[in-house]
Every structure is written in structure tokens, then in C-alpha cells.
Structure 1
Amino acid sequence: MSEEFEIRNKVAENTSLVNFDLSSLMPKGKKIGIDLKNFLYEGLILREKDYREKIENINPEDYRDAYVYIYCSEDVIIPLWAYFLIAAKLTDTTKKVVFGNLEDLNVLLMHNAIKTYDYSELKDKRVLVKGCSDVDMPNNAYIELVEQLKPMVKSLMFGEACSNVPIFKN
């Protein structure tokens, strides 16, 4: 094939643009919710003796290397020590245990990932944060990413190379 008919991606070849996929920072692994309503007496009351027995019957291996979020789907008062007990049972085998729902867990995981990521490869670069992802990202992750990138990148854009939204230029 002659060079005059060769198909080339001139955008990719002639740009100093660095594509950054925020979803790549989301930690991989199983996410398991524990609903404390299953630990309540008649679905309404947390009785310490019954609760401790149910906690004792939890097999920590069922949660090995998982991200666990603890919540209660019933509108009842749960004393804080109840969360301590279940966390103490699981922290040796899980990657992380949090209070809240799946969204709360994802916000915390992304917060930790964004804060600990090494952005040195992006210093003084034009960065395009990928707009579409198969992973449902917490909105706050984008805000935290801007906080990390603004002092170090030349410019920041959001979207796709063919249709991006400029965020800022240094």
C-alpha cells in the first residue's frame, strides 16, 4: 500500500494529549453488603445477646478480600458498638469495611485511590479525562481528580478527543 493511501490517526499522532481513564483507579474486587436488619429481633430491636451470637456465626472467609459495606434497610436505631462488633469480626479477611451503602463504599474507595495515585507522568501535560466508562463512577471522584491535577497539568479537558470540554489551562 502506498503511503499516500495509508490510513493514519492524525489526532493520536500529532497531539501531546494524555488520555486519563478515572475508572481505571477503581479498586477491583467483590463488594458485599451486610444489612443489619437480618440481625434484629423481630426486625425491630437489636438485642445484644442475639446480635453477638449472630456475629459469632459469621464466617469471615465468606468475605475474604472483599469490600464490605454495612447498612440497615430498616428505620431503627442501631447503637454504634454494633458496627464495631461486625467490623472486628471481618477486618482480618476483608480489604475494607465501611458503614454506609454501596455508593458510600465507592466514594471512599475512589477517594483513597485518587489520593494515593502517582500523577507524576501527567506533570506539565495536556490531560483529557475520559468521559464514558463502563464503571459507574461517583461524581465526587471527578472533583477530587481536578484538585489533584490542577496544580500540575498544563491543561485539563473532559470527554473524548473528538468532542471534549476544556476545564482549565495553566
Structure 2
Amino acid sequence: MLREKSFRKQVAEIDWSQYKGDRVLVRGCAEVVIPTWAFLILTAQLAQFVDRIYFGELHSAVKIFTKENN
């Protein structure tokens, strides 16, 4: 079972800048239930650096975030 406190700690240790300007696909897992809050935490971190975030499978991904160009 995924625990929020330890998950947040691990997420905080990732260098998210490595994804700067990228398009990222966030995928779920059919075998393990991933809580919605985990996807929200990842998306919030990624949105600071990436150009686009998609969710789902590669061939049917849904765009959930696009960085605005200022």
C-alpha cells in the first residue's frame, strides 16, 4: 500500500528539472491501485518544468496540462 508521507518524501528527492521542456506521459497500473493523490502530487511537480503532461496509455493518452507561453 502506498503511504502518502513516504511518497511525498521520495517525490521531494527527485530532480524534476531533468524533465524541463519535455512532454511526459503519466501511466496508471492495472495490477496495483494507485491513489488519485499520488497522480496529483506527480502532476504538480512536473507542471513546474514540462511543456505537456498526458495521462493514460501511449496510443490513447489524454492531455491534462499544457504550459502557457508568456
Name 1:154's counterpart in structure 2.
51
Question: Hey, what's the Cα distance between the residues in 2 that align with 1:144 and 1:162?
Answer: 24
Higher alpha-carbon Rg: 1
Question: Hey, what's the Cα distance between the residues in 1 that align with 2:7 and 2:30?
Answer: 15
Deviation at 1:144, TM superposition (A): 1.0
Give structure 1 regions of 4+ aligned residues with deviation exceeding 6 angstroms.
none
In 1, are the aligned partners of 2:28 and 2:34 still within 8 Å (CA)?
no
SS at match of 1:162: helix
RMSD of equivalent CA atoms = 1.8
Show CA shifts across 1:111-160 (max 9, x none). Answer: 11112212222111000011225343222111111111112101000011
Question: Hey, what's the Cα distance between the residues in 2 that align with 1:135 and 1:146?
Answer: 19
TM-score where L is the length of structure 1: 0.36
Name 1:108's counterpart in structure 2.
5
- Closer, same or farther: CA 134–157 of 1 in aligned 2, 3 Å: same
Name 1:130's counterpart in structure 2.
27
List alignment gaps of at least 5 residues for structure 1: 1-101
Q: Where in structure 2 are the equivalents of 1:1-170 lying within 5 Å?
A: 106-170=3-67
**Counterpart AA for 1:152:** F
Q: How many residues were matched structurally?
A: 67
Deviation at 1:109, TM superposition (A): 1.6
